[in-house]
Structure 1
């Protein structure tokens, strides 16, 4: 009888810990993937900053959610580049690079994931949601009379870098993929990110519950692998990553760290090693642009902290009036050339 009571107590304890763990994981995911609203004023370039740039608004249905996308540029015989954004941002945050693509003769399609900027959704749900959304976008393109015959390229950074590679698991007709600072799988980046803020023992305790939670939300594809996507085809892929990336570790959760497991013969690699340029955002910009961007980002954060996230409009407007957006978004010539050369080489 005593043993029976002890056994029941152990089971009850395990059940309580499990329930607390899954609720903790759920709370973390809700916070990380909270709805992201677009700010008209931002350090990144906005459409209103881009003189002469033409775009057309397009609505795409992903599951039951209406996504907002924009098709930039006139009809092109060269190809279409679909841009996949990173976390804490949206499609419009990539306009500095979009301009170079347009100038090189491509049309460009940007879109906001579920729960981001102009798209519907109470939250962005989780990492795999972006793959589902991109899959819907590609379905739209393949059904479009004006777009379906164009060579289609995918370009993504960070979360978008993962998304652009992972969607290859779905066998779309893709001409090439550029994945920048991307992670190899949702669980790989979840473990790495958690390890930066909580003790290893706690990470090991919560990780199975993080996997369970995502599986409940997304089903069997919750941990869809970017490496499996790349290896599932012979699509040309350019993998780019900074050696000192502080968000997605070069030797850790990154796609490039898995190069020994990549069997697709048409994959090439670009490692950014220049000091002051090899971090998560620096891979895009000149050294001076990177320093200015990061300084202004920190300055803006301090301003919001000072006013407890309620900065008076007059104060905020004055700060943005002094911001040099051109300097903050000064693209690195080598990065731009590498991207455009890859597009042009694989544009059939």
Structure 2
């Protein structure tokens, strides 16, 4: 009987070992899959050959700019200063992921018109900056902090206070960077930003893969922790509150890129018991239909309508041309589009941001 019991115990032991091996293999495979998926996702995105996005070519005559660059971990990040003779204050602008600062020129130039000096740069792996990869969601506040250091050390901000301003990935970056440079920044504007990298990664994985995506959370976390260490999952809402830096937060209730509920900075701040007004935190919830998404509130109603009309026409032309961007009809149509009109910053949003910076960056 003892021999039978021992045999039975050995059999169970083999089963447990087998199950353990399977679990380890599956976990290793999940980790490797996420490693590959993240590397592929963050790889440099090239500019589309057909686009209605703004570029400096549209603004060059009216908005001269100076070239600047700074280094971060052996890579050169390149940018420009707009309104270089303005002296109301220095605003450092950080763009969203898979983008570059020129895509935000309607806003940047509008703020230069208001008398602000705007330093806008391209993140690692984006636009004119070095790198084959944007590295990850956690990267944004790291390079924002480096940009603040550069602005101080180069004399760019001499005699002026510094404000931070960003959208999406950049919206997270400028807010989370307050934890790194609370004494160097006097104000922050964050638009459509996520509260933590893990919140947006979890949301994106669940959206793409359902329950299987939710199960990837431990492996996404491990990959992010390996790459960024203590900077892996900084909370933007925590940084805003703890820094005491006056902050203006925008987010749309219909945002499907950075979902409003459970993911956004604005929603995270709303869940807090502390008085946001006393902390000089202003929340702007956008809920108007057609103007409550990730970036559709950027443009005025007329500009937005014209942009949508052009996009529909271009889509039809491309379909007729077999998706050939070099088709003569497609090129001729693009040459006739008024891109400045299609990309005009919403005057109310500009006025709100201008008033906020005017109050917080004042030299009184």
The normalised TM-score by structure 2 is 0.88
CA–CA distance in structure 1, aligned partners of residues 91 and 337 of structure 2? 30
Q: CA deviation at 1:331?
A: 2.0
May I ask how many residue pairs the two structures share in their alignment? 347
Going from structure 1 to structure 2, the CA distance change for 1:340 and 1:189 (only over 3 Å counts) comes to same
Residues 3-40 of structure 1 deviation map (CA, whole Å, 9 limit, x = unaligned): 23212211210111111111221222123211023468
User: Contact (CA 8 Å) 2:65, 2:83: kept in 1 or not?
Assistant: yes
**Matched residue of 1:196: which SS?**
helix
2:178–2:239 CA contact under 8 A, matched in 1: yes
CA contact (8 A) 2:236 2:265 kept: yes
Q: Which runs of 5+ in 1 are unaligned?
A: none
CA contact (8 A) 1:114 1:130 kept: no
1:279, distance to aligned residue in structure 2 (A)? 1.3
- Structure 2, unaligned stretches of length 5 or more? 1-9
- How far 1:94 moved relative to its partner? 0.9
- 2:95 matched to 1:85? yes
1:5 corresponds in structure 2 to: 14
Rg larger for: 2
- Cα contact 1:127–1:186 (8 A) shared by 2: yes
1:149 CA drift (Å): 3.2
Give the structure 2 partner of residue 281 of structure 1: 295
Once structures 1 and 2 are overlaid, which stretch shifts more, 117-126 or 19-28? Answer: 19-28
Q: Spell out the pairing of 1:240-279 with structure 2 (5 A cutoff).
A: 240-259=250-269, 260-261=271-272, 263=274, 265-279=279-293
Range that drifts further, 264-273 or 177-186? 264-273
Post-superposition CA distance 1:85-125 (Å, at most 9, x none): 01221011111011111111111111111100111111101
Paired with 2:151 and 2:124, the residues of 1 have a C-alpha distance of 18
For 1:94-113, list aligned pairs within 5 A.
94-113=104-123
Partner Cα distance (2:293, 2:113) in 1: 27
Equivalent position of 1:36 in the other structure:
45
Q: Any residues of structure 2 matched to 1:49-64 within 5 Å, and which?
A: 49-50=58-59, 51-64=61-74
Match of 1:65 among 68, 75, 79: 75
* Pairing 1:118–2:93 present: no
Structure 1 pair 306/6, CA: closer, same or farther in 2 (3 Å)?
farther
Asked if structure 2 preserves the Cα contact closer than 8 Å seen for 1:277 and 1:286, the reply is: no
State how far apart, in whole Å, the 1-side matches of 2:51 and 2:164 are.
25
Displacement of 1:208 after TM fit? 0.7
- On the 8 A contact 2:205/2:214 being kept in 1, the answer is no
- Pick one of 312, 320, 331 that aligns with 2:326: 312
Q: Of the candidates 345, 351, 354, which is equivalent to residue 337 of structure 1?
A: 351
Q: 1:190 aligns with which of 174, 179, 201?
A: 201
- Summarize deviations over 1:41-77 as a string: whole Å, max 9, x none: 6422211101321111111101111111111123332
Distance 1:205-1:295 versus aligned 2 partners, 3 A rule: farther
Instruction: Indicate which of 164, 170, 182 corresponds to 2:174.
Output: 164
Structural RMSD (CA): 2.3
Residue 237 in structure 1 maps to residue 247 in structure 2: yes
**Is 2:158 the partner of 1:144?**
no
In structure 2, the CA distance between the partners of 1:298 and 1:240, relative to structure 1 (3 Å rule), is same
